[in-house]
Amino acid sequence: MHDPLIRRTDRRAALLLLAAAAAVLPAGAAGAATGGPARKTRETRETLKITVRAAPTGLTDPEKKEIAMELVSSAENSSLDWKAQYTYIEDIDDGRGYTAGIIGFCSGTGDMLDLVELYTRRRPGNVLAKYLPALRRVNGTDSHRGLDPDFRGDWRAAAADPVFRRAQDDERDRVYFEPAVARATADGLRALGQFAYYDAMVMHGPGTDPVSFGGIRKAAMRKARTPAQGGDEVAYLDAFLDARKAAMKTEEAHGDTSRVDTAQRVFLRDGNLDLDPPLRWKVYGDDYEIRS
């Protein structure tokens, strides 16, 4: 037994498909699709051209990720050449011991320890492996005990090893970049917001206390809703940067807030939510530019 409703539905679906085909084909070709006479004219031989605007890209796009690395390096190392920073190491007197590498791994916060442990798993007997006991002891402090006097020189020597450089890349992504981008994407933020999260996580850590990334985000959400909650993206990012700046001012070493004031806030004020070049900004009074 045939169901008349199914037959009517099938016929209606077929008619809709024919109508859709007629809408996108030239007039003569549309006539052929609907059973009418097809005229062999220039019109039927031309290809329909459709312009599709590319969707905005986030920091997972390799070009945008490169921009993010250069922006961070301008603030952390006063240089856009972030790949030159694998060898970087110094104590910047911020209470975190040695700060080193492409993202500022710190001997006092555990991420440097995690990095050297990863490097040692991949390259047993490397030049930094002997410092693992000392790195475990100084974790959570600003002490250099067991690291001086040779740790800095050995770090620079290790940075000549591509295995160590790859380990730095992987730990940066695992601990900071990927969590920041994932959280920002879930909050409905585009490339600029993803970068604002990433930069905050790099400086303040991914924790939940008031001056870590989690606390900064919560403070912002008390002032404005995220786009995922139906809020305005610009208003939310403005609140996030306010909260970030307040957290920076709690530490003397981070009292200069130009990486927010004359960099991220500039992009926000310009409405460049996709972080598209050309980009011009200042950090610590120095001018930077990414042209393309």
Known catalytic residues are 76, 94
Task: Report residue 218: phi and psi, to 5°.
Answer: -60, -40
CA–CA gap between residue 104 and residue 88 (Å, rounded): 8
- Bridge-partner residues for 290, per DSSP? 279
**Buried/exposed code over 202-235 (b: 16+ C-beta within 10 A; e: otherwise):** bbbbbeeeebbbbbbbebbbeebbbbeeebebbe
Please tell me the total number of residues recorded for the chain in this structure: 292
Neighbours of 90 (CB within 10 A): 9
**Buried/exposed code over 2-31 (b: 16+ C-beta within 10 A; e: otherwise):** eeeeeeeeeeeeeeeeeeeebeebbebbbb
Amino acid at 86: Y
